[in-house]
Structure 1
Amino acid sequence: MSLHVKKGDRVKVIAGKDKGLVGEILAVDPTNTKVVVQGVNVVQRHVRETATPQGKRVEGGIISSEAPIHASNVQLVVKVDGEEVVSRVGYERREVTKRRPDGSEYAAFRSVRIAKKTGEEI
């Protein structure tokens, strides 16, 4: 299953406690339809000090990290005339030229993501 956003996309949170925040996607989990956005849904975990099998000490304490949020709660951010605006994502089939291992070329189609607001490829 694929999502409308990918790792590295700039998104805006449109629902939840962090509504309105803009950040970059750090990780995507398509099977659970979840994404991790930088600076969004930050949770604190209490981690115990441990030792690795090599004998090194791993520091304990209170660790802050981003927790996943549902992909439907984020919307893609695109630049329009130097201003960042949210846009829905569409898909378009474009014709490309591919090359076979023997060197011959043929026409094929590939799917690209399109920002509905601007009509440009993402």
Structure 2
Amino acid sequence: MNIKKGDTVKVIAGKDKGAEGKVISVLREQDRVIVEGVNRVKKHEKAVNQGGRAGNTGGIVTTEAAIHVSNVMLVDGDGVTRVGFRRDEVTKRRTDGSEYTAQRSVRVARTSGKEI
């Protein structure tokens, strides 16, 4: 999955098409993401009394529901972009002080080629 928590995405399909928001969480098993301010649903919550301040009052709560990851695209600058990957050579340091080279995978924007 190319979308990560904290990314700014734009909805490209569905009832909230055109809306932009920040990814709150990623559900990898279901291929879904929860985006801030997008796909808002109302849930009925039961009042739970666990003593003192611990219980909730219940009622109707508005919250974000998950949407499929194929319905969002990553925002890059003014528009949206696809996500690619590039392998970069980096030098790492061992605990004994010696150095070695390794490869690191980074996400890049396909439109601009810049690292995300």
CA shift for structure 1 position 30: 1.0
TM-score (norm 2): 0.95
1:108 paired to 2:102:
yes
Match of 1:38, as an amino acid? E
Specify the alignment match of 1:118 in structure 2. Answer: 112
Cα RMSD over matched residues? 1.0
Deviation at 1:55, TM superposition (A): 4.0
Q: 1:65 aligns with which of 51, 63, 66?
A: 63
Cα deviation for residue 27 of structure 1 reads 0.3
- Secondary structure of the residue that 1:93 maps to in structure 2? strand
Counterpart selection for 1:41 from 31, 39, 42: 39
Counterpart amino acid of 2:40? Answer: V
Alpha-carbon deviation of 1:105?
A: 0.5
Give the Å deviation of 1:94. Answer: 0.4
Could you say which residue in structure 1 is the equivalent of 2:82? 88
Q: Residue by residue, what CA displacement relative to the aligned partner does 1:26-67 show, whole Å, maximum 9, x if unpaired?
A: 000111111000011100011111112x44331111100000
Q: 2:2 and 2:30 mapped to 1: Cα distance?
A: 14
Partner amino acid, structure 2, of 1:87: T
Shift of 1:114: 0.2
Cα distance in 1, alignment partners of residues 95 and 68 from structure 2 = 41
4+ residue runs over 4 A deviation: none
CA–CA separation in structure 1 for the residues paired with 2:19 and 2:52: 41
- What per-residue deviation string (whole Å, max 9, x for no partner) do you get for residues 57-102 of structure 1? 31111100000011111000011xxxx2100000000001111121
Uncovered stretches (5+) of structure 2, i.e. residues with no partner: none
TM-score by length of 1: 0.90
